Amino acid sequence: MLNSDACSLDLKGALPMNRKYLPLLLSSLLMMLGSANTFAADAESEVWEAAKSANSVAAYKTYLKAYPKGRYAVAAKIRMESAGGQGAAGAAVPTASAVPAVPAASARPSLPITIDASVWQVLENSALYQKAPKSRNLTQAIEVTTQTEYTGAKNSSLAAQGAVKKQTNTALSPISDKCYTSTSTTRMQVPNVNVPESNQVAYMCGLMVLMGATSNGTPQMSIANLQVNGSLFPPQVGATQSVRYTTLWLADAKYNMETDSTCNITGKLSAASLNPKLAGTAWAMQCKTTRISGGKPTTYQIEDYLLEDMGLLASVAGVVDMQAKRVIFPAVGTTTIQDVPGDYGVRITTTYDRFDIQPGN
């Protein structure tokens, strides 16, 4: 299960299943899981695609003039800089293959998702990527029971829903020296509803950069406008790492989201104190994340841990307790509560019936 503060994909098993809202809820769920196979390109995307097609300084300037803080602004500037800012305004910008490349710290893995060359250039030239260790294999098995209560002004009169059972099995596996996959299979038992099995694969590089994801074999999302600063390696108190990027939802661009996440190491402890199956040192971190979707920002802060021996964040090996604002490795019977505010707000109570991790090589 990929549920780190920087790249949460887990739906937490929370499906308020009142029949009145069932068609809307299932439609939204399927869209977020990438079942829709159409891409609703907005005006900005059309301008960007035209600029890439023209592949000229003038075309990129046209895009930047129209969208100086757009989703592809960083990529446009990098492509212009690769030309050295020289020549006629309409001169073609050299393609990535024609630009002298900085030696990469690791060969790029082959991904089933299209990633713009500028994203790879930013990532590979960063200390975040170059200093990141190779991640180890890890498997995770989680079984939970969730209860959903309606707490919003417009849905509080609805009755609480029946218990939902959710089972998720996840495997974390390196695909290069700097990247790994998180492959999850999720099964849900919802009262009076047949929910199909879901299979998700997320692609992570440089410890905390979510490059993209697929759902049931279909590309779901990718990344653009990557900016990185600093590195958590070598780990020491005070080390800071920041990541900013745009998540592009391929089914519908209106769900695109800006993410800005910074983690700062504040101390260290034994990894076994978090879970007895972990070894080595766990570096405690304060991670602050701001996400902007639909023009509405959401900011939260949690305590995460860098598992030095595993080359992973604890938030991808464990789970995030949003109420306690920290990563946990829950014992059987542990209960967490997540409040989602708003007119259609809900309170989700999760009880862990099983939690197990198995570190590998």
Cβ neighbours for 296, distance < 8 A, ≥ 6 positions apart: none
pLDDT at position 126 is 94
Which helix or strand (DSSP H or E) is residue 180 part of? Answer: strand 179-189
How far is it, in rounded angstroms, from Cα 232 to Cα 265? Answer: 8
Task: Let me know: does 210 contact 222? Beta carbons within 8 Å.
Answer: no
Q: Which residue has the tokens 């009262």?
A: 191
pLDDT at position 46 is 65
pTM (global) more than 0.85: no
Closest CA relative to residue 79, chosen from 55, 112, 46, 110: 55
Which range among 38-42, 64-68, 136-140 has the greatest average pLDDT?
136-140
Q: List C-alpha distances in Å: 57 to 73, 85, 163, 175.
A: 13, 8, 57, 35
Q: Which of the four pLDDT bands, split at 50, 70 and 90, describes residue 43?
A: low
Range 265-292 average pLDDT:
96
More confident residue, 250 or 70: 250
Task: Let me know: does 315 contact 307? Beta carbons within 8 Å.
Answer: no
β 198-205/179-189 pair status: antiparallel
How far is it, in rounded angstroms, from Cα 55 to Cα 52? Answer: 5
Q: Is 217 left (phi over 0), alpha (psi -120 to 50) or beta?
A: left
Q: Is the peptide bond before 234 cis (omega within 30 degrees of 0)?
A: yes
pLDDT tens digits for 299-353? Answer: 989 999 999 999 999 999 999 998 899 999 999 999 999 888 888 888 999 999 9
221 burial type by CB count under 10 A (0-12 exposed, 13-18 middle, 19+ buried): buried
Q: Which of the four pLDDT bands, split at 50, 70 and 90, describes residue 88?
A: very low
Task: Let me know: does 167 contact 187? Beta carbons within 8 Å.
Answer: yes
Closest CA relative to residue 2, chosen from 214, 184, 138: 184
Task: Let me know: does 157 contact 179? Beta carbons within 8 Å.
Answer: no
Check whether 60 has a pLDDT greater than 80.
no
DSSP letter for each residue of 322-357 = TTTTEEE-PPTT-EEEEEE-STT-EEEEEEEEEEEE
DSSP letter for each residue of 50-80 = HHHHHTBHHHHHHHHHH-TTSTTHHHHHHHH
